[in-house]
Amino acid sequence: MKQPIPFSEPPALCGLPSPYYTPSHVAWRKACRSFIDENLTQHAMDWEREGFVPEDVFHQFASSNMLVPSLPAPLPIQWLKKLGIHDILNTVKVEDWDYIHTAIYTDEMTRSGLQGPAASLTTGFSYAIPPILKFGSQQLQERFLPALLLGKKRTCIAITEPNTGSDVAGIQTTATKTPDGKHYIVNGTKKWITNGIWSSYATMAVRTSGPGPAGLSLLLVPLLDYPGVSMRKIKVAGHLTSGTTFIELDEVKVPVENLIGQEGQGMKYIMTNFNHERLTIAIGVTRQARVALAAAFEYCLQREAFGKTLMEQPVVRHRLAKAGALLESQWAWIEQFVYQMTKLGKVEADVELGGLTALAKAQAGIVLDECARCAVLLFGGNGFTTTGRGEIAERIYRDVPGARVPGGSEDVMLDLAVRQLVKNYQNKSKALERPKGSSKL
């Protein structure tokens, strides 16, 4: 066993004590890493170069129930057991699963330093299935969940449009009921939809009535080979393997039974779904920052310039130290955050941690930007080259916008966080105010 390069692993994996991890978490990390190293990490760079992850990789993860850990904790125990899924990798029973197990999985999925390969497998599963589980009718769940949870069909979350990103209330794609009330006719476009190109379905935000958030609903829309639907891949700067997709919907006929929850409640459903998305983005992005900084650290121990190694240059150590402080502070916050998720119910967590989730996601992007830029600068010309020794730094740096924009762009997240904190403070302060005439002597 080799000594880890500084910053390459979380402190708990470097022999330092931690209050968060139980024997179950330790055993899960070991089993999880072994599976992901074999089936993803060792191949991730080759797949990113080629621009796609072979289809059999998704099937391997699905058949091993290794897509299930991407769902929010606690897991949907009743549905999983109904489908014969009682544990993950013979290590953790589904009823014992908590958000720390989820965080370990998310961290391990990005240990290659690349977001694309992991996103190609889990994004649709992780973000499109939960609304069906939480808000879908029994008939909707019975029709679609077996195939989706077992990975026999793929799905995606389709919110963003060409002219509507973080401003979800501005969604323009319409779903109009037919005169007989049996179908919705969907028209519009969706853009930057991860996994869309392979998906049989989309959990889609549509406008079923007037303007603003009250007019939004969620609809399960068929995609692959469905009349009126056309899809094409979009070439983006990073995340090359994630299947970023442009979707056009022209008079697409969808049964009204595919409505998720109630009409007009789409904005509420989307907002609660964002919390899991943003937290898992923050975890994965922080691991990317770790990979970038550790690669630079190792390079600086070996590369010589001006008659000494780069590590012997004070300016180099200063740059590594600044990035390292940001990285380890962010990870400490993530661990604290995830632990709090294990102690709070869903409703309480959404209220208490919703704004902070947005802040953690924004801060993760800022930390990645610093660590990736540090790596590129210290690798020098190698960090500016798409092959060779600095390839990992160059690729991670191209992934930075994919951390700071999707899932809620950085400036919007920072503003949302403070607005939510103000709202919580005012509500709690008001609750503490003593009603007139209730003074006790």
What does 258-271 look like in DSSP terms, one character per residue? GEES-TT-HHHHHH
Token readout for 149 is 């949870």
Please check whether residue 218 is in contact with residue 173, taking contact to mean a CB–CB distance below 8 angstroms.
no
Phi, psi of 93 (to 5 degrees): -65, 145
**CA atoms of 425 and 18, how far apart (whole Å):** 31
- Does a cis peptide bond (omega within 30 degrees of 0) precede residue 54? no
Residue 39: the pLDDT is 98
Burial of 172 (0-12, 13-18, 19+ CB in 10 A): middle
Please check whether residue 62 is in contact with residue 69, taking contact to mean a CB–CB distance below 8 angstroms.
no
Q: Helices 266-302 and 314-343: crossing angle, nearest 10°?
A: 150
Compute how many other C-beta atoms are within 10 angstroms of the C-beta atom of residue 139: 9
**CA atoms of 159 and 407, how far apart (whole Å):** 10
**CA atoms of 182 and 176, how far apart (whole Å):** 11
- Residue appearing with tokens 């550790």: 294
- Residue appearing with tokens 């916050």: 333
Length of the chain: 441
Residue 194: the pLDDT is 96
Give Cα 274 distance to the centre of its chain: 9
Residue 440: the pLDDT is 53
For residues 66-85, one letter each, b for 16 or more C-beta atoms within 10 angstroms of the residue's C-beta and e for the rest, the string is bbbbbbbbebbeebbeeeeb
Residue 434: the pLDDT is 66
The three-state secondary structure class of 309 is: strand
Residues of the chain falling short of pLDDT 50: 441
**CA atoms of 282 and 276, how far apart (whole Å):** 10
Q: 108: closest CA among 88, 78, 93?
A: 88
**CA atoms of 77 and 88, how far apart (whole Å):** 12
DSSP assignment, residue 70? G
Compute how many other C-beta atoms are within 10 angstroms of the C-beta atom of residue 345: 8
**CA atoms of 427 and 420, how far apart (whole Å):** 11
Q: 364: closest CA among 413, 315, 321, 316?
A: 413
In angstroms, the first-to-last Cα distance of the chain is: 69
The three-state secondary structure class of 177 is: strand
Residue 441: the pLDDT is 46
